[in-house]
Amino acid sequence: MGIAFWIKRFLVVLMGAFAIICAAQLLKGHGLEYSATQAAIWGVISAAIFTAVRYRQASRKQHCALCRDTPEMREEL
């Protein structure tokens, strides 16, 4: 799992977190600018934490059954 994998993982999590947080803020009645700003800030924070923790687990050879992102887990499909 090279650097491209981890960058892709970060961006996927960032997009998902951004969409969910922005939608939640809009449903609360906030404006689009405020919602997008909050989504960008918290999306980056959550994506960074998720990616860092997942990288640490992968370096320790701890597998994620839900993610199925290691070669060993892909072979079991």
pLDDT per residue as tens, the chain (77 positions): 678 888 988 999 999 999 999 999 999 999 999 999 999 999 999 999 999 998 888 888 777 777 666 555 655 54
Half-sphere exposure of 10 (CA within 13 A, CB side): 14
What are the tens digits of pLDDT across the range 57-73? 888 877 777 766 655 56
**Which domain range does residue 26 map to?**
3-75
pTM, to two decimals = 0.78
For 52, residues 6+ apart whose C-beta sits below 8 A from its C-beta are none
* pLDDT given for residue 15 in this prediction: 95
Phi, psi (degrees; rounded to nearest 5) at 2: -85, -175
Q: How far apart are alpha carbons 24 and 67 in whole angstroms?
A: 25
What's 30's DSSP letter? -
Q: Where are the alpha helices (DSSP H) in 2-68?
A: 3-27, 32-59
User: What total of structural domains would you count in the chain?
Assistant: 1
